[in-house]
Structure 1
Amino acid sequence: MNTTETAKPPRVTRRRAETRARLLEAAFSVFAEKGFGLVRIEDVCGAAGYTRGAFYSQFDSLEELFFVLYDQRATLITGQVRDALAAIDDPADVAGFVDRLSATLLLDRDWLLVKTDFLTHAARRPDIAARLITHRAQLRAAIADKLAASGFTVPPELGSIAELAHSVVAAYDGVTVQLLLDNDQPAARDWLARLLTRLGVVAPPRA
């Protein structure tokens, strides 16, 4: 046997994929109900109907599981930005883009509760905070890529596309905080539309 041969990653079976999906779904529900800091691995296993062994076959820790949830939502948000850009015929159609994005962008209160709980958890743990910062930077970079691919020019006062993507995420974060407090999703979407419009998300009409 050639000992230098690179080991192949374990094959992802259907059963293993189902176990992972059920653990993620259960964890999301338990995190939203109890708060991340109050949840134990046993809570997630109990909700999913699995043992600790099943959990550790998929994740190293609750933090590891959270980052999978985060990346799933980041992929969804990036796709929503892409779809909103693709749905407009004119890249100068600010109102059209903002209307589509603010109407569809993920504003799920349970996810916001989970994410906010984890933020405070990470803030007290520098190693986890560093990982969260990296994941958030990846989200902003993905949004910047979609904005750049749409072909519009960022007004000089807004800086670079990367800075604009940072502002879009900041506006989204601000609106979600308000949603946590008043649980008024229509109002949150209205405020998101106003903030995105003021940011000038797409270029003004060309002369």
Structure 2
Amino acid sequence: MAETTAGRVTRRRGRTRARLLDAAFTVFAAKGFGRVSIEEVCEAAGFSRGAFYSNFATLDELFFALYRARADLIAEQVTAALALDGPGLDVPAAVDRVTEVLLLDVDWLLVKTDFLVHAARDPAVAQALLGHRARLRQAIADRLSRAAGHAPLPAALGGADGAAHAVVAAYDGVTTQLLLDRDVDAARAWLRRLLTALLTAGGTPHGSSHDS
């Protein structure tokens, strides 16, 4: 009986935490991290401050939990998108899949940008953010390394690690423009161009018929 009760408490707390994170995402995307209070998050989630403090010590802690959950999901999606071609890598197809994963949610980009600015002013948070970015790059580099014998990378990139850095840098640049003009189709087209050029030795993969 005690284990059953504990299980119910754990599940209920998990649901409460998930609702707080979902509500925080909506409020942060609409107003910005620095303009949101704990009370606003609680009101959006339909909970009291007590529910908040039973899950998070501070708004910063909730913000980082939100970022970590979303960043981990994106890393998993990118890894899955790159894993569909067996030992080789169909660069145009992989680029299309990755582009679709990375550019679906402008609200996430708003929250991510807020978190980047916040982290830039807090060395401890910056280190945590760098760790997440490094894991994403490593997932990309690992996949590119496995495919290197089938789809050689441009020598100028310095191997799979350099290519992974270039992929993330291209994404960062394109999404900055996306935040300003909200043109998802243009951002997707530019990211496709950039990634295809970066990841193919001649800039145009053999057999590719993709247009911009």
Q: What is the TM-score of this pair, normalised by structure 1?
A: 0.82
The alignment partner of 2:85 has SS state of coil
C-alpha distance 120-86 of structure 1, shift in aligned 2 (>3 A): closer
The alignment partner of 2:71 has SS state of helix
Amino acid at match of 2:71: A
The alignment partner of 1:13 has SS state of helix
Between the aligned partners of 1:197 and 1:79, the Cα distance in structure 2 is: 21
2:3 corresponding residue in structure 1: none
- The correspondence of residues 128-143 of structure 1 with structure 2, limited to 5 A, is 128-143=125-140
Q: Does 1:158 align with 2:138?
A: no
Structure 1, 196-205 or 166-175: larger mean CA deviation: 196-205
- Once the 2 structures are TM-superposed, how far is the Cα of residue 151 of structure 1 from its aligned partner? 5.5
Amino acid at match of 1:164: A
Structure 1, 27-36 or 47-56: larger mean CA deviation: 47-56
Between the aligned partners of 2:198 and 2:155, the Cα distance in structure 1 is: 12
Does the 8 A contact of 2:109 with 2:179 survive in 1?
yes
Between the aligned partners of 2:17 and 2:51, the Cα distance in structure 1 is: 9
1:120 to 111, 117, 120: 117
The alignment partner of 2:55 has SS state of coil
In the alignment of these two chains, the number of paired residues is: 196
C-alpha distance 67-162 of structure 1, shift in aligned 2 (>3 A): farther
C-alpha distance 133-104 of structure 1, shift in aligned 2 (>3 A): closer
Instruction: For structure 1, list consecutive stretches of 5 or more residues without a partner in the other structure.
Output: 1-9
Point out which structure has higher relative CO (alpha carbons under 8 A, 6+ apart). 1
Deviations 1:122-171 (A, max 9, x none): 22223322322222222222332333345655432211322221211111
Between the aligned partners of 1:92 and 1:128, the Cα distance in structure 2 is: 35
1:47 corresponding residue in structure 2: 44
Q: Does 1:59 align with 2:52?
A: no
What percentage of residue pairs aligned between the two structures are identical? Answer: 61
1:14 to 11, 14, 19: 11
Q: Does 1:144 align with 2:109?
A: no
Instruction: For structure 2, list consecutive stretches of 5 or more residues without a partner in the other structure.
Output: 1-5, 207-212
- Once the 2 structures are TM-superposed, how far is the Cα of residue 120 of structure 1 from its aligned partner? 1.7
Q: Does 1:91 align with 2:88?
A: yes
C-alpha distance 117-172 of structure 1, shift in aligned 2 (>3 A): same
Does the 8 A contact of 1:175 with 1:192 survive in 2?
yes
Q: What is the TM-score of this pair, normalised by structure 2?
A: 0.80
